[in-house]
Amino acid sequence: MTKVVSLSKKAYQTLKDLKRSNESFSDVVLRISGTKQKKSILQFAGTWNGSDIDEVYSKVKKDREQSASREIEI
């Protein structure tokens, strides 16, 4: 079901500027309002497209090494 919504020229231009190439205006509204259905993190497993995976891995590893661990008494 669709509804017609009136926007000022400024509001339309702002929405248009936020719109990604693969999105509809409805997608933009849902994304910026935070109401778009959340995806499970498992849906992203194995989808890394960047060529900088080694750099990212090194940074994560370095950050983990630098974080202080805490001992817990039980």
Sorted by where each begins, the domain ranges of the chain are: 7-36
Give the pLDDT confidence score for residue 12 in this predicted structure: 93
Of 10, 16, 43, 48, nearest to 29 by C-alpha is: 16
- Tens of pLDDT along the chain (74 residues)? 888 889 899 999 999 999 999 999 999 998 888 776 667 777 777 777 778 888 888 888 888 887 767 667 77
pTM for the predicted model, two decimal places: 0.45
For residues 32 and 6, what is the distance between their CA atoms, to the nearest angstrom? 18
At residue 41, φ and ψ (nearest 5 deg) are -60, -25
